[in-house]
Chain A
Amino acid sequence: MTYLLMQIICCYLATLGFGIIVNIPHRALNACGWVGVLGWLTFLGLRTINAGTILSNLLAALMIGLSSMVMAQKLKMPMILFNIPSLVPLVPGGQAYNAVRSFAFGHDLQGIDYLVQVLMIAGSIAMGFFIAELVARAYFKTVLK
């Protein structure tokens, strides 16, 4: 329970912090933090039930895409304001770091292994956003017309 609470607080603060770095409007900061928390919780939950890295990243990105769409509608602001900071915890920093480390020490095969992981994760996040976009288009076509 403490672990979960710590994860939520940390994720909220991390998303908020990145929001400040890219200077999003003050009004959007709070909503942005919650979108980030939602995405990260999806990721954590799926990882705990062993759904695999790719699927967890994909669904977390889908979650971020959908919830930032809802927030964008509600606050009448562009969607990227919520997308960008919430995405940051999902960035495969650890794998990228390991890839660089392996290449620097001359373990090329291991480096390529990590690099492929980085590309797969990046691709799955992109796919998640893509599906969110599709859902958004379908929603606007059917409901609002």
Chain B
Amino acid sequence: MQRYDLIIETVLLAGKIMIENGADMARVDDTLKRIARNSGIEQPKIFETTTGILMSIPEKRSSQVEPIQKRTIDLEKVSLVNQNSRAYQAGKITLKELHDNLIKLNISTPFFSFWLQLLAAVVVSCTLLLMYGGKWQDLLATAIASGLGYSCYYFINNHLRIRFVSEFLGSFLIGLTAVLAVRYSWGYEVNMITIGGVMPLVPGVPITNAVRDIFAGHLLSGSARALEAFLSACAIAMGIAFVFRFM
């Protein structure tokens, strides 16, 4: 009895970590079934969506639910869960160790520091500006716009935890900086500065996952993620539109 409880708990925990941090459903499905099969369950029944996981073991007549409330993006955790499940399959660690590892990695996986992320956002904006054929003279304005926008986005996401408002205010700041920079002749093209600046806010993970989920047959998760990506894109667009309307 104990063992079955531990199996279900481990599988649900692994699934929860993966879905919370932005894995695609086909990968989650594969990993969870693999953990269950390697624990000696022939026919695990697992149903997962972006908002919850259900699992039952047929011969035990009982099932468990794991709701998933928050969704962030941290692909390192996804990769670590994947590594642990591979190690478990190869027989390098026991079920108990797998369970403990999962708990440990869920609290203590290092994230890149804020300053490094800010630098990364600025680099993304500036390089994309050049790739899309922007002028060298606009680099400084783009860097400032992108830095301000990304800091605002990061702060709201991490401290106030309001989705979509963070994208809206971030892109609003970017647009505002671009318009002001051009007005005081620090930059030349509002369009290119804004496009470059907004790029780090693009919802890349939901877009990619939506496509993959839908093609893999997880229609429920796919459309939920497509909606999420669409809302993020709309929030960004609204921020930019506000700048045009009132400046």
Interface residues of A (CB under 8 A from B): 6-7, 9-11, 13-14, 16-25, 28, 40, 76-81, 83-85, 87-89, 91, 93-94, 96-101, 103-105, 122, 125-126, 129-130, 133
Contact = CB atoms under 8 A, between A and B. Distances in A.
Contacts of B194: 97
Contacts of B124: 13-14, 17-18, 21, 88
B199 interface: yes
13 contacts: A13-B124, A17-B124, A18-B204, A20-B116, A21-B120, A22-B204, A23-B76, A78-B75, A80-B78, A89-B128, A94-B132, A104-B240, A130-B215
Interface of B: 22-24, 27, 73-76, 78-80, 82-83, 86, 111-112, 116-117, 120-121, 123-124, 127-128, 130-132, 191, 194-195, 198-200, 202, 204-205, 207-209, 211-212, 215-216, 233, 237, 240-241, 244-245
Contacts, number: 151
Interface SS of chain A: helix
B114 to A, nearest CB: 11
A80 B117 contact: no
Given A40-B131, A93-B202, A100-B237, A83 B208 contact: yes
Contact of A21 (B117, B237, B241): B117
Contact of B79 (A11, A78, A101, A103): A78
A17 B112 contact: no
Contacts of A76: 83, 86
A24 B75 contact: yes
A104 B175 CA distance: 13
B121 A87 contact: no
- Closest A-B pairs by Cβ, 5 of them: A20-B120, A17-B124, A10-B127, A104-B244, A17-B120
Contacts of A130: 211, 215
A95 B199 CA distance: 13
Contacts of A13: 123-124, 127
Given A40-B131, A130-B211, 6 more contacts: A23-B74, A78-B75, A84-B204, A89-B128, A97-B191, A104-B245
A85 B244 CA distance: 29
A63 B194 CA distance: 28
Interface centre among A19, A23, A85 (most CB of B within 10 A): A23
Contacts of A17: 120-121, 123-124, 127, 200
A96 B209 CA distance: 20
